[in-house]
Structure 1
Amino acid sequence: MKETVLEHISSDPFAKMLGVQIHEVALGRAKVSMNIKESMLNFHGAANGGVIFSLADIAFAIASNSYGQTAVGINVSINYMKAGLGGDTITALAEEVSINPKLGLYRMTITNQEGELLATADGMVYRKKEFFAQ
């Protein structure tokens, strides 16, 4: 099943466009990273908040779908602590906090290559009845 889940999530075209690399996939957990390119900077010269959010969201999607059951995000909130800079490699770790048959809560931490905390996010998914891998 793990290979089927990894194959399914690796086909995400948005993650591919951003250059996201998948480092870890386990039940309820995922770790991904990407490099901040010049085209991802805002008018202050820092990583656009949407770039950081996108990486957190991709980790969230992978962790919540790691059971092979279709899980869709219903809410995400993010807190930014420090700016990401051009050339930084940022990493998002998503970990399951709570799960039941219909809902799952996940916490994401986003850090730079120095291990400095850039942001934290919490996300909730609704688990559909469909499975894409078993």
Structure 2
Amino acid sequence: MKEAVLDRVNADPYAKFLGISVDHVGEGEAKASMTITENHMNFHGAANGGAIFSLADVVFAIASNSYGQTAVGINVNMNYMRAGMLGDTVTATATEESKNPKLGLYRMIVKNQHGELLATADGMVYRKKEQFA
């Protein structure tokens, strides 16, 4: 199943565009990273919140789909704690907090290369009947 999820992520044009690389996939967990480039910056000179959100969303998708059952996000709440800066290597992890046949709750943590907390997020998925692996 890990390979099926990785195949889908590696074919994701948006993740490729952002420069996201997947570092780890396990059942109910994932880790990915990206380097903040000029294209990720906002007019305040910091990483755009959407770029940080997108990284967290990728690990959310990987972790929630890691069982080979189609899971789709139905809610995400993001908390920004610190700005990402140009050149930062930003890493996001997702951990499954709760899973039942229809719903899953995940916690995402985003940190920079110094281990400083940039953002946290909680996301919920709905598990469809379809299997893809």
Is the structural similarity TM-score above 0.5?
yes
- The residue that corresponds to 2:51 in the other structure is 51
Q: Which TM-score applies when normalising by structure 1?
A: 0.97
Q: Given residue 112 of structure 1, which amino acid in structure 2 is its aligned partner?
A: N
SS in 1 for 2:30: strand
SS in 1 for 2:122: strand
SS in 2 for 1:63: helix
Aligned-residue offset at 1:40: 1.1
User: How many angstroms apart in 1 are the aligned matches of 2:38 and 2:4?
Assistant: 34
In the alignment, structure 1 segments of 5+ residues that lack a partner are: none
Q: Given residue 24 of structure 1, which amino acid in structure 2 is its aligned partner?
A: H
- CA deviations on 1:35-68 (whole Å, 9 max, x unpaired) are 1011211111000000000000001000000001
Q: Which TM-score applies when normalising by structure 2?
A: 0.97
What does residue range 1-134 of structure 1 map to in structure 2 within 5 Å? Answer: 1-133=1-133
SS in 2 for 1:72: strand
Aligned-residue offset at 1:13: 1.1
Aligned-residue offset at 1:2: 2.5
Q: Given residue 46 of structure 2, which amino acid in structure 1 is its aligned partner?
A: A
CA RMSD of aligned residues (A): 0.8
Aligned-residue offset at 1:3: 2.0
Percent pairwise identity: 70
Aligned-residue offset at 1:26: 0.3
User: How many angstroms apart in 2 are the aligned matches of 1:2 and 1:93?
Assistant: 16
How many aligned positions are there? 133
Q: Is contact 2:30-2:62 (8 Å) kept?
A: yes
- CA deviations on 1:62-105 (whole Å, 9 max, x unpaired) are 00000011000000000000000011010000000000000000
SS in 2 for 1:6: helix
Q: Given residue 61 of structure 2, which amino acid in structure 1 is its aligned partner?
A: A
Moved over 4 A (4+): none
